[in-house]
Amino acid sequence: MAQQTILQKLEILADAAKYDASCASSGTAKKNSLGGKGIGSTEGMGICHAYAPDGRCISLLKILLTNHCVFDCHYCVNRKSSNVARARFTPQEVVDLTLAFYRRNYIEGLFLSSGIVKNSNHTMEQIVEVARILREEHDFRGYIHLKTIPEADPEIVHQAGLYADRVSINVELPTDSGLTRLAPDKDARQIEGAMGKVKSDLVEAKDARKRFKHAPRFAPAGQSTQMIVGADAATDADIVGKASRLYDNFRLRRVYYSAFSPIPDASAVLPLKRPPLIREHRLYQSDWLMRFYGYKPADVMQATEADGNLPLDIDPKLAWALKFREAFPVDVNRASKEQLLRVPGLGVKAVGKILASRRHRNLRLDDVALLTQSITKVRPFICTVDWRPITLTDRADLRSLLAPKSEQLELFAA
Amino acid sequence: MTALQHVKLGTYYVVHLPEADDFDFWRERARALAQCDVPPDRIAWVEPGGSGDLFAHGERRMPVPPMDAKPVRANRRFVSLAKNAILHSDPERFALLYRLLWRLQSNPRMMEDKADLDVRRVEELDKNVRRDSHKMHAFVRFRLVESEDEEVGEHYVAWFEPEHHILRANAGFFMRRFANMRWSILTPRGSLHWDTKTMSEGPPAQRSDAPGGDPMEDLWRKYYASIFNPARLKIGAMLKEMPKKYWKNMPEAALIPDLIAGAQGREAKMVEKGALEFEERPDTLSAIDKAIHACRKCPIGQLDNHAVMGEGPQDAALMIVGEQPGDQEDQVGRPFVGPAGQLLDAHLEKVGIDRRAAYVTNAVKHFKYVQRGKRRLHQNPGAKEIDTCRWWIESERAIVKPKLVLAMGASAARGMLGKTVSISNVRGAPIPLEDGSELWVTAHPSYLLRLDGPAREEQARLFDADLAAVRERLEELS
Q: Does residue A2 sit at the B interface (CB-CB below 8 Å)?
A: no
Look over chain B and give the mean of its residue pLDDT values, rounded to a whole number: 87
Half-sphere exposure of B167 (CA within 13 A, CB side): 25
| pLDDT over 70 at B308, yes or no | yes
Mean pLDDT along residues B1-18: 67
Question: Buried (b) or exposed (e) across B337-373, using 16+ Cβ within 10 A?
Answer: bbebbebbeebbeebebebeebbbbbbbbbbbbeeee
Q: Does residue B215 sit at the A interface (CB-CB below 8 Å)?
A: no
Edge-first strand listing for the sheet containing B438-442: B359-362, B318-322, B404-408, B438-442, B431-432
In angstroms, the CA A267 to CA B388 distance is 7
Q: Does residue A82 sit at the B interface (CB-CB below 8 Å)?
A: yes
| pLDDT over 50 at B437, yes or no | yes
Look over chain A and give the mean of its residue pLDDT values, rounded to a whole number: 85
pLDDT of residue A2: 62
Q: Where are the domains of chain A?
A: 6-275, 316-413
Give how far A169 is from chain B: nearest CA, Å. Answer: 20
Percent of chain B with pLDDT over 70: 92
In angstroms, the CA A80 to CA A70 distance is 6
| pLDDT over 50 at B51, yes or no | yes
SS3 of chain A: the string is CCCCCHHHHHHHHHHCCCCCCCCCCCCCCCECCCCCCCCCCECCCCCCCEECCCCCEECEEEEECECCCCCCCCCCCCCCCCCCCCCECCHHHHHHHHHHHHHCCCCCEEEEECCCCCCHHHHHHHHHHHHHHHHHHCCCCCEEEEECCCCCCHHHHHHHHHHCCEEECCCECCCHHHHHHHCCCCCHHHHHHHHHHHHHHHHHHHHHHHHCCCCCCCCCCCEEEEEEECCCCCCHHHHHHHHHHHHHHHCCCEEEEEECCCCCCCCCCCCCCCCCHHHHHHHHHHHHHHHHCCCCHHHHHHCCCCCCCCCCCCCHHHHHHHHCHHHCCEECCCCCHHHHHCCCCCCHHHHHHHHHHCCCCCCCHHHHHHHCCCHHHHHHHEEECCECCCCHHHCCCHHHHHCCCHHHHHHHHC
Give how far B383 is from chain A: nearest CA, Å. Answer: 6
Test mutation, A20, A81, A179, A263, chain B, max B CBs within 10 A: A81
Task: Find chain B residues with C-beta within 8 A of A81's C-beta.
Answer: 382-384, 387, 420
pLDDT of residue A259: 75
- Termini Cα distance of chain B: 110
Across the interface, whether the CB atoms of A360 and B383 are under 8 A apart is answered no
Half-sphere exposure of B285 (CA within 13 A, CB side): 17
Overall fold of domain A6-275: TIM Barrel (3.20.20)
Q: Does residue B72 sit at the A interface (CB-CB below 8 Å)?
A: no
Across the interface, whether the CB atoms of B115 and A361 are under 8 A apart is answered yes
Across the interface, whether the CB atoms of B384 and A277 are under 8 A apart is answered no
pLDDT of residue B180: 93
> Tens digits of per-residue pLDDT, A237-251?
889 888 988 888 888
Mean pLDDT along residues A185-201: 88
| pLDDT over 90 at B153, yes or no | no
Mean pLDDT along residues A294-321: 88
- Find the CB nearest A104 among B214, B230, B235: B214
Counting Cβ atoms within 10 Å, is residue A128 exposed (0-12), middle (13-18) or buried (19+)? buried
Give how far A260 is from chain B: nearest CA, Å. Answer: 10
| Higher pLDDT, residue A347 or B282 | A347
pLDDT of residue A413: 35
| pLDDT over 50 at B3, yes or no | no
pLDDT of residue B445: 92
> Tens digits of per-residue pLDDT, B196-219?
999 999 999 999 988 888 999 999
| pLDDT over 70 at B279, yes or no | no
Pick from B19, B14, B122: which is nearest to B75 by CA? B122
Counting Cβ atoms within 10 Å, is residue B38 exposed (0-12), middle (13-18) or buried (19+)? buried
Query: Would you call the peptide bond into A329 cis, given omega within 30 degrees of 0 as the criterion?
Result: yes
pLDDT of residue B156: 94
Mean pLDDT along residues A133-153: 93
Q: Does residue B247 sit at the A interface (CB-CB below 8 Å)?
A: no
- Name the least confident of A227-236, A291-300, B405-414: A227-236
Mean pLDDT along residues B439-454: 91
Q: Does residue A40 sit at the B interface (CB-CB below 8 Å)?
A: yes
| Higher pLDDT, residue A253 or B272 | A253
> Tens digits of per-residue pLDDT, A79-120?
887 778 899 999 999 999 999 999 999 999 999 999 999 889
- Name the least confident of A204-208, A277-281, B258-262, B383-387: A277-281
- Which helix H or strand E contains B78, and what residues bound it? helix B76-85
pLDDT of residue A409: 39
Task: Find chain B residues with C-beta within 8 A of A12's C-beta.
Answer: 226
Q: Does residue A31 sit at the B interface (CB-CB below 8 Å)?
A: no
> Tens digits of per-residue pLDDT, B319-375?
999 999 998 898 888 999 999 999 999 999 999 999 999 999 999 999 998 888 888
| Higher pLDDT, residue B57 or A212 | A212
Q: Which domains does chain B have, with CATH numbers?
A: 3-134 (no CATH), 140-209 (no CATH), 225-273 (no CATH), 285-477 (3.40.470.10)
Mean pLDDT along residues B461-473: 93
pLDDT of residue B4: 46
Percent of chain A with pLDDT over 90: 32
pLDDT of residue B1: 40
Mean pLDDT along residues B125-130: 96
- Find the CB nearest B112 among A35, A53, A359: A359
A410: confidence class by pLDDT, cuts 50, 70, 90? very low
Q: Does residue A349 sit at the B interface (CB-CB below 8 Å)?
A: no
Across the interface, whether the CB atoms of B109 and A360 are under 8 A apart is answered yes
Do A256 and A287 touch, CB atoms closer than 8 A?
no
Mean pLDDT along residues A23-37: 85
Pick from A7, A9, A143: which is nearest to A65 by CA? A9
Across the interface, whether the CB atoms of B226 and A357 are under 8 A apart is answered no
pLDDT of residue B135: 95
Give how far B222 is from chain A: nearest CA, Å. Answer: 6
Nearest chain A Cα to B240, which residue? A55
